[in-house]
A and B are shown apart, each in its own frame.
Chain A
């Protein structure tokens, strides 16, 4: 039994997840604030210029076109201004960031083959355990700039499912990259997507062939170890017609005094009648700027689902998008953001209806406490010709005290008459009577608060795989500890 579950028991707080699934006790032990001694990180070069970009490309022996694209990305990055909206990004010092850190010479096929301290890191994060317990059907573990471990179940491989790190995939399956890389998120899409394109390294490539259903999720785990590290993974997922895949990512980093940057790009191609679910539990330490561009294009009858949990980081700006390009395509975003002291979570979603009979929903829940700021920022766009489209947005904010802040920025751009739209937004406070009721039943004030917060996000937690829901609950309890008094 893990220490955390034991604590959960000792404190008398149990979660619905455990209640329904007692077999999960013992899964999902996450502590994340430590760091390894890593000489590769300590010696890495700071700052970005063309030489850095060339060096990354050369180390990876990439094709010429990729180097060209990287250089183009660098130009856009240098030319584009910092966003003037959303969170305060003035603390990012691009000259102080280490853009590429290679921590091990070759990728491991077994955990035992990894350098000991890296292996210990993942053991402490519970990743190999999840694999052994068969809670996932494939694992990719990225440490600093590169994927250091990767494994996929043999039967999936036999069915033609590809799941590997993006660097290797570029070498082994260049045809996918020539066709799709940068097709969903163009090189100059925004300043940080341009930065990612110029220095990207690692990330996952997934291809699911026609008609194949990957029933058990594929998991990726991203870990930053070095101080002032920039992690720029690049993920490309292609779900061919009538296929299904669920991809889960988790992320953590050590606590440092100075900041790190995580700026990923995730491109997803959902073909006819395929379905992709992408789940993120982001738990970066509170010195990480998390500026991520995620987008999916969905063909006729396809479905894209983003489940987006943001608990950690100093600043997160992330708006997973779905471009509904084919008739009857569906998009869904369920997001939960938790902003504590010194944190600014500016999250939401973007739904673009480009074909008739497309539908989308956005459900966003945010919790702010101890001076944290949580914002919902969303765009619903219905293009001309996308008749009979439907969208609904529900965003609920919960304020735990009087010094925290919640904002809602819903943008709507409709170019078609025959559409159905719904928008609901609520901001609520934890009420004195709710606290009194639970405390009158013996719960200490912070336990009562945690129970109310857990209940508030339950509609999203229930969409998570069990061990992730459990982790989310645990993280909330940690956040709520000492939050009152």
Chain B
């Protein structure tokens, strides 16, 4: 059993208008096997939290800690975090021209595990994971994310989630831009990874829609760079009915 612990995290970025604080004291604990949903309006800092956990150089941690089983995550380089078992399913996956998915997946798997996967079983694993996510077999020979539609990119992120088997996954608006069928396929993928690896999941979303397929244990309402309220799945239902207004009013006051 592993624990990802975020304590009083403050994060700022450099903008043309100077330094801007985005996260203003985030505290959150995720254990193996738990699904935490983070919901909140645009601009509340949800994606900043996701990128900071993964270590994007643009985000500057000014105070607070992130630890995984006591290890200081903030001391680790981006690749070290990945090898330690953190995975970020990105909101905008990047194209890598000239590098096939097959090559990319195997190189990444080798880097994360510290050894090359067994050739025979690996090819089978990739094929079957692709089938389950309804990704056409041709994609194996296509270049990473190049010319993929928004929905295809998201499926490929979840494909990596299933193949790399991280301890903790952060899903940054994986549901955005997905039609209803794709949403189901992607959700099934997350649930499979969750069950088979006892993964801890931080699910970031605008909408309650995805929560019909991925059942959260905890829901956190994120407003103005911090967690405004937390509760069980029932909190999502309330948000569905009433929106974020209740939380926005005091924040703006």
Q: Chain A, 255-281, contact with B by CB distance < 8 Å: what is the 0/1 string?
A: 000000000000000000000000000
Closest Cβ of chain B to A483, distance in Å, is 16
Contacts of A442 in B (CB 8 A): 79, 82-83, 108, 111-112, 164
Q: Is B106 an interface residue when CB atoms closer than 8 A count as contact?
A: yes
Q: Is A22 an interface residue when CB atoms closer than 8 A count as contact?
A: yes
Q: Is A227 an interface residue when CB atoms closer than 8 A count as contact?
A: no
Contacts of A69 in B (CB 8 A): none
Contacts of B103 in A (CB 8 A): 14-16, 19
Segment of A45-53, A84-92, A325-333, A447-455 in the binding face: A447-455
Interface residues of B in 136-178 (CB under 8 A from A): 143, 160, 164
Cβ-neighbour of A441 out of B102, B112, B116 (below 8 A)? B112
Contacts of B108 in A (CB 8 A): 438, 441-443
Asked if A451 and B107 make an inter-chain contact with CB atoms under 8 angstroms apart, the answer reads: yes
Interface size on B, residues (CB 8 A): 37
CA distance A14 to B99 in the complex (A): 11
Asked if A443 and B98 make an inter-chain contact with CB atoms under 8 angstroms apart, the answer reads: no
Q: Is B93 an interface residue when CB atoms closer than 8 A count as contact?
A: yes
Asked if A451 and B57 make an inter-chain contact with CB atoms under 8 angstroms apart, the answer reads: no
CA distance A459 to B106 in the complex (A): 21
CA distance A451 to B88 in the complex (A): 20
Given A436-B57, A451-B99, A455-B99: A12 touches B107 (CB 8 Å cut-off): yes
Contacts of B110 in A (CB 8 A): 12-14
- The 14 sampled A-B contact pairs (Cβ below 8 Å) are A9-B116, A12-B111, A14-B116, A19-B103, A19-B106, A437-B93, A439-B79, A440-B78, A440-B90, A441-B82, A442-B82, A455-B96, A456-B97, A458-B98
Given A13-B107, A19-B106, A442-B111: A436 touches B98 (CB 8 Å cut-off): no
Closest Cβ of chain A to B158, distance in Å, is 14
Q: Is A432 an interface residue when CB atoms closer than 8 A count as contact?
A: yes
Q: Is A183 an interface residue when CB atoms closer than 8 A count as contact?
A: no
Interface residues of A in 274-324 (CB under 8 A from B): none
Q: Chain A, 422-449, contact with B by CB distance < 8 Å: what is the 0/1 string?
A: 0000000001111011111111110110
Q: Chain B, 46-57, contact with A by CB distance < 8 Å: what is the 0/1 string?
A: 000000001111
Asked if B98 and A441 make an inter-chain contact with CB atoms under 8 angstroms apart, the answer reads: no
CA distance A448 to B160 in the complex (A): 17
Q: Is B206 an interface residue when CB atoms closer than 8 A count as contact?
A: no
Q: Is B119 an interface residue when CB atoms closer than 8 A count as contact?
A: yes
Contacts of B99 in A (CB 8 A): 16, 451-452, 454-455, 458
Q: Is A199 an interface residue when CB atoms closer than 8 A count as contact?
A: no
Interface residues of B in 62-101 (CB under 8 A from A): 77-79, 81-83, 87-88, 90, 93-100
Binding site for A on B (CB under 8 A): 54-58, 77-79, 81-83, 87-88, 90, 93-100, 102-104, 106-108, 110-112, 114, 116, 119, 143, 160, 164
Q: Is A97 an interface residue when CB atoms closer than 8 A count as contact?
A: no
CA distance A438 to B77 in the complex (A): 12
Main secondary structure of the interface of A (DSSP, over half): helix
Cβ-neighbour of B100 out of A19, A440, A443, A445 (below 8 A)? A19
Given contacts A9-B116, A436-B54, 14 further A-B contacts (CB under 8 A): A12-B110, A14-B116, A15-B103, A16-B102, A437-B93, A437-B94, A439-B55, A439-B79, A440-B54, A440-B79, A442-B108, A443-B111, A447-B107, A455-B96
Identify the interface centre among A12, A13, A431, A447: most chain B CB within 10 Å of its CB. A12
Q: Which residue of B lies closest to A443 (CB)?
A: B111
Asked if A436 and B78 make an inter-chain contact with CB atoms under 8 angstroms apart, the answer reads: yes
Asked if A437 and B90 make an inter-chain contact with CB atoms under 8 angstroms apart, the answer reads: yes
Going nearest first, the 7 A-B pairs with the smallest beta carbon separation are: A455-B98, A458-B98, A442-B111, A12-B110, A441-B108, A442-B112, A439-B78
Contacts of B96 in A (CB 8 A): 434, 437-438, 451-452, 455
Q: Which residue of B lies closest to A19 (CB)?
A: B103
CA distance A452 to B100 in the complex (A): 11
Q: Which residue of A lies closest to B95 (CB)?
A: A434
Q: Which residue of B lies closest to A433 (CB)?
A: B94
Q: Which residue of B lies closest to A396 (CB)?
A: B97
Q: Is A229 an interface residue when CB atoms closer than 8 A count as contact?
A: no
Cβ-neighbour of B143 out of A9, A440, A455 (below 8 A)? A455
Binding site for B on A (CB under 8 A): 9, 12-16, 19, 22, 431-434, 436-445, 447-448, 451-452, 454-459
Contacts of B55 in A (CB 8 A): 439-440
CA distance A12 to B110 in the complex (A): 5
Closest Cβ of chain B to A131, distance in Å, is 29
Contacts of A13 in B (CB 8 A): 107, 110
Q: Which residue of B lies closest to A428 (CB)?
A: B97
Cβ-neighbour of A440 out of B82, B98, B119 (below 8 A)? B82
Closest Cβ of chain B to A451, distance in Å, is 6
CA distance A433 to B88 in the complex (A): 13
Asked if B88 and A444 make an inter-chain contact with CB atoms under 8 angstroms apart, the answer reads: no
Q: Which residue of B lies closest to A16 (CB)?
A: B103
Q: Which residue of A lies closest to B106 (CB)?
A: A14
Contacts of A444 in B (CB 8 A): 79, 111
Identify the interface centre among B77, B97, B111: most chain A CB within 10 Å of its CB. B111
Contacts of A16 in B (CB 8 A): 99-100, 102-103
CA distance A458 to B143 in the complex (A): 11
CA distance A433 to B96 in the complex (A): 10
Contacts of B114 in A (CB 8 A): 12
Closest Cβ of chain B to A353, distance in Å, is 31
Q: Which residue of B lies closest to A456 (CB)?
A: B98
Closest Cβ of chain A to B88, distance in Å, is 6
Closest Cβ of chain B to A426, distance in Å, is 11
Closest Cβ of chain A to B250, distance in Å, is 35
Contacts of B79 in A (CB 8 A): 439-440, 442-445, 448
Asked if B98 and A459 make an inter-chain contact with CB atoms under 8 angstroms apart, the answer reads: yes
Closest Cβ of chain A to B213, distance in Å, is 25
Asked if B57 and A432 make an inter-chain contact with CB atoms under 8 angstroms apart, the answer reads: yes
Contacts of A455 in B (CB 8 A): 96-99, 143
Asked if A439 and B98 make an inter-chain contact with CB atoms under 8 angstroms apart, the answer reads: no
Q: Which residue of A lies closest to B110 (CB)?
A: A12
Closest Cβ of chain B to A154, distance in Å, is 38
Contacts of B160 in A (CB 8 A): 441
Contacts of B112 in A (CB 8 A): 441-442
Contacts of A438 in B (CB 8 A): 96, 108
CA distance A15 to B112 in the complex (A): 17
CA distance A44 to B79 in the complex (A): 53
Contacts of B97 in A (CB 8 A): 455-456, 458
Closest Cβ of chain B to A128, distance in Å, is 29
Given A16-B100, A454-B99: A432 touches B58 (CB 8 Å cut-off): yes
CA distance A459 to B146 in the complex (A): 14
Asked if B107 and A440 make an inter-chain contact with CB atoms under 8 angstroms apart, the answer reads: no
